[in-house]
Chains A and B, each alone.
Chain A
Amino acid sequence: MSNKLSVLTKGIVKENPVLVLLLGTCPTLAVTTQASNAIGMGVAATAVLLCSNIVISALRKIIPDKVRIPCYIVLIASFVTIVQMIVSAFAPDLNDSLGIFLPLIVVNCIILGRAEAFASKNGVIDSALDAIGMGVGFTLTLFAMASIREIIGNGTWYGFSIPVLADNHVSILTMAPGGFLIFGVLIAIINHASKGKGVTRDEFGCDGCPSASSCGRSTCAKEGVIE
């Protein structure tokens, strides 16, 4: 039982997909201008991740090894399309503010990365727990980062205006440079708190990149980023 619990909780802190595994950087930087967008993106990605992990895990013995990546992509793209339809039907505002990053969940490294690293090797229940843990970790990180950017950068939080900051906001934090800056500082804080044990990778690498397994001979392998 404790085993199952650790599968569930490892995504939240120990193997946080964004801050420790450094996956899904693009949506992390792009949608964290507002706390509400971050929650929307997190929930949408978690839904896709949960469905894809369950189905890929259930089909792991049927999918031939050689064509597994295209199979995963088709499955993930189908779930993304479903989520896109649901969001545009029931939350059109969220659809507008996430814009292109909603269909781009297809190429979100977290989803293909977990399919390849976990769901293709583990049972359905474990894969579902892994997906929930990773999804919650992703959502919480996005929410934390978006809160910092929205409170300091815009003086609001979830639509509420914050007394002093609303008149003295540092609007660059809600723009592109602020995304890079806050993300860098958050990783540095994690580094410091874990005394360098947290972030094991010192480079953005390929082990979460969708094409990783198809390019063993590429620059990543040369530089020793992937084993």
Chain B
Amino acid sequence: MDFKALIAIIMTSALVNNYVLQQFLGICPFLGVSKKLDQATGMSIAVIFVMLLATAVTWPIQEFILNRFELQYLQTIVFILVIAALVQLVEIILKKNMPSLHASLGIYLPLITTNCAVLGLCINNIDLGYGFLPAMVNAFGSGLGFLIAMVLFSGVRGRIEQNDAPEAFKGIPITLVAASIVSVSFFGFSGIVENLFG
């Protein structure tokens, strides 16, 4: 797996197949925490961290335990439990040893324990048949895509708040319509990977 292929994986997962805007994974935090820019960034960095951590743990489990003993049917149960336990553990360690980091990132960790983007990524990595390094790169790219979507969308929401929407559209509906338009803008990236690396 050469360097060029890894860059292509990052571009694909961050822009073309953006988890939030193209694949509908992790919609809850995307709509729930995107109101303020600092919260959106904090949440996204926590997501990148958990995605890398979850991939680093679930990939070896799949490869060396589930595949080896033909227990693939346990994938769903094992992955969700491992991810949940791991994130709780990291949160406890952060709280004890790095209180300042915990104050800025720790509050988001329990929120993403059972986020569908994280579990979805781990299952996707296995389904796509990635090796360990490509899987980690894919995790970073997907997290990066989440960060891009969150930061862009928090800017959009800042503008929506100041505008006067029709009564029935106030709150969630107008936010969803805005998300739809942001999602259209990501169509601009389709074909970028083929053109750059093809």
Q: Which residue of A lies closest to B42 (CB)?
A: A219
Interface pairs (23), CB distance under 8 Å? A22-B172, A30-B23, A73-B81, A73-B84, A108-B116, A172-B184, A177-B181, A177-B187, A178-B180, A179-B180, A181-B177, A184-B173, A184-B176, A184-B177, A188-B166, A188-B168, A202-B172, A203-B171, A204-B28, A214-B110, A218-B107, A219-B39, A225-B32
A61 close to B (CB within 8 Å):
no
Bitwise interface map of A from 170 to 187 toward B, beta carbon under 8 Å scored 1, else 0? 001001111111011101
A206 close to B (CB within 8 Å):
yes
Q: B123 and A103: CB pair below 8 A?
A: yes
Q: A109 and B24: CB pair below 8 A?
A: no
Q: B80 and A25: CB pair below 8 A?
A: no
Q: Which of A35-43, A75-83, A154-162 contacts B (4 or more CB under 8 A)?
A: A75-83
Q: A107 and B110: CB pair below 8 A?
A: no
Q: A215 and B28: CB pair below 8 A?
A: no
Highest count of chain A CB atoms <10 Å: which of B23, B33, B123, B176 = B176
Q: How far is the CB of B190 from chain A (nearest CB, A)?
A: 10
Chain A positions within 8 Å of B22 at CB level: 176
Q: How far is the CB of B183 from chain A (nearest CB, A)?
A: 4
Residue numbers of B with Cβ under 8 A of A are: 21-28, 31-33, 39, 43, 73-77, 80-81, 84, 88, 107-108, 110-116, 119-120, 123-124, 127, 166-177, 179-181, 183-184, 186-187
Q: B77 and A180: CB pair below 8 A?
A: no
Which listed residue, A25, A177, A188, A218, touches B173 by the CB 8 Å rule?
A: A188
Q: B107 and A103: CB pair below 8 A?
A: no
Q: Which residue of A lies closest to B31 (CB)?
A: A204
Which listed residue, B32, B43, B180, touches A180 by the CB 8 Å rule?
A: B180
Q: How far is the CB of A67 from chain B (nearest CB, A)?
A: 12
A66 close to B (CB within 8 Å):
no
Q: B173 and A176: CB pair below 8 A?
A: no
Q: B116 and A104: CB pair below 8 A?
A: yes
A100 close to B (CB within 8 Å):
yes
Q: How far is the CB of B160 from chain A (nearest CB, A)?
A: 12
Q: How far is the CB of B81 from chain A (nearest CB, A)?
A: 7
Chain A positions within 8 Å of B31 at CB level: 25, 204
**A109 and B26 alpha carbons, distance in the complex (Å):** 11
Chain A positions within 8 Å of B172 at CB level: 22, 184, 187, 199, 201-204
Q: A106 and B107: CB pair below 8 A?
A: no
A205 close to B (CB within 8 Å):
yes
Q: B168 and A189: CB pair below 8 A?
A: yes
Q: Which residue of A lies closest to B85 (CB)?
A: A70
A74 close to B (CB within 8 Å):
yes
**A152 and B6 alpha carbons, distance in the complex (Å):** 39
Q: A77 and B76: CB pair below 8 A?
A: yes
**A74 and B77 alpha carbons, distance in the complex (Å):** 7
Chain B positions within 8 Å of A29 at CB level: 24, 27
Which listed residue, B73, B119, B123, B176, touches A181 by the CB 8 Å rule?
A: B176
Which listed residue, B43, B75, B183, touches A103 by the CB 8 Å rule?
A: B75
Bitwise interface map of A from 71 to 98 toward B, beta carbon under 8 Å scored 1, else 0? 0011001101100110000000000000
**A210 and B118 alpha carbons, distance in the complex (Å):** 14
A121 close to B (CB within 8 Å):
no
Give me 19 other A-B pairs in contact (C-beta within 8 A), A25-B27, A206-B111 excluded: A25-B28, A26-B25, A29-B27, A77-B77, A100-B127, A103-B119, A104-B120, A106-B80, A109-B28, A175-B187, A176-B183, A181-B177, A185-B177, A189-B168, A191-B173, A201-B172, A202-B170, A211-B114, A220-B111
